[in-house]
Amino acid sequence: MIGVKVRESGENVLISWQFSKVKIPINEIKEVISDDTYGGEERKAMRIGFPYATTERIVIKTTKEDYILYTNNTSVKNKIEQFIT
């Protein structure tokens, strides 16, 4: 299983998983939080990663859309927070 990868690309946060890439402008990110629920509280969020057997659910709230990242990597949330500060 290939995990969710997060990196900074210019003025964007680039999230890649398998063959998908999502580019989120840093200036549109409002909040990055952990979600303790299994499927995520946000019903209309874009879900990235396998929800099965993952320990971390990270919610990225933006001005246009919400994203839920399913990962076992505990440093993903901190990495995104560093990009937006």
pLDDT (0 to 100) of residue 66: 94
- The confidence score (pLDDT) of residue 67 equals 95
Query: Token pair of 44, please?
Result: 């209309």
> How far is Cα 17 from Cα 23, in angstroms, rounded to an integer?
12
Count CB atoms within 10 A of the CB of residue 78: 11
Q: What is the CATH number of domain 5-84?
A: 2.30.29
Q: Determine the Cα–Cα distance for residues 50 and 20; give it in Å rounded to an integer.
A: 13
Global model pTM greater than 0.75: yes
Instruction: Identify the pLDDT of residue 37.
Output: 79
Say what the pLDDT of residue 51 is. Answer: 85
Amino acid at 21: K
Provide the residue type at 55 as one letter. Answer: T
Extents of the domains making up the chain: 5-84
Mean pLDDT by 10 residues, the chain (85 residues): 87 94 96 83 85 89 94 92 91
